[in-house]
Amino acid sequence: MALQKWEIFQDEATVFLNNYFNANFTKEGGLDASTSHITVRNINQVITNIEAKFGSTQAGQIVLAEDDNKFSYCDKSKNPPNSYTQVIIKYLNSNYSSFKSKNTASIHVDISESTLFNWVKTIYNDKNVQWIISSNKFNDLTVNDLLFVPIDEIEKYFDISLVFRRKKTGDTHIQGKDIIYFKSKLDLISKDYKIKKINNKYLLTMKSRLSDFNIGSKYLVSMTNVDCQYYIKKKDINTNPNIMFQLNLKDNVEFKGDRFKDDYNL
């Protein structure tokens, strides 16, 4: 599978930093937002971490719970709560009528940029990420292409926005209490099947392949590596409220390599 541009940027930024500084830069990140950084070591000792961001990018996300016309922090969030999280949630609750709709359209949250930047800084500082490297170019990088500055200065180089959106959390494996109802829907398609529970997952084995993976309106099946065998899942019919922090790189790119060398005696 071809690498995406942000993946190429993270790889090339790591190579660039290794060539520019007398230290060891290692890409630790990937799809997991909790480790999307480059670790910096000097004589095998970790001295800091660098966040690598290509172009316009998401800087964090909070999953919200909703009950009695009120939002609250949900522990499904990858980013832990901080004092600015509560400020943002308080704003959403004060303007609940603007966000109560169940559709999945994105809604801009009109809250102060200082609050948003402080939330991002707090999240990065909690992960010992003290610098950020970014660019609108993903390959053949030079000093002139790269923003490389301390996290504490990001408001000088990025615009920030916050978007509220309802997202599905994903389909889940069926629970035992749902099996009887699932069978009643599957019987309308075929009665020649077997269901077996393995490691808290239910496996459906058919005599022939299914032409439609939807079983009624509430359930579906997904393929395994065995022909005519499927995992039984329950569809995610609910949408969970999320807020997403978006960073957009400005034009005033600056590479503070000398500052980095001075800070870490490189």
How many residues are listed for the chain in this entry? 266
User: How confident is the model over 119-167, as pLDDT tens digits?
Assistant: 999 999 998 899 999 999 999 999 999 999 999 999 999 999 999 998 7
- pLDDT band at residue 226, thresholds of 50, 70 and 90? confident
Arithmetic mean of pLDDT, 54-66: 90
How many CB atoms lie under 10 A from the CB of residue 18? Answer: 15
Element (H, E) at 122: helix 113-126
Average pLDDT, integer, range 44-50:
91
The 10s digit of each residue's pLDDT in 164-218 is: 998 766 667 888 888 999 999 999 999 999 999 988 889 999 998 888 888 988 8
Amino acid at 13: A
Non-local CB neighbours of 228 within 8 Å, separated by 6+ positions? 205, 206, 207, 208, 209
The predicted-structure confidence for 23-37, as pLDDT tens digits, reads as follows 999 998 654 444 558
pTM listed for this prediction? 0.73
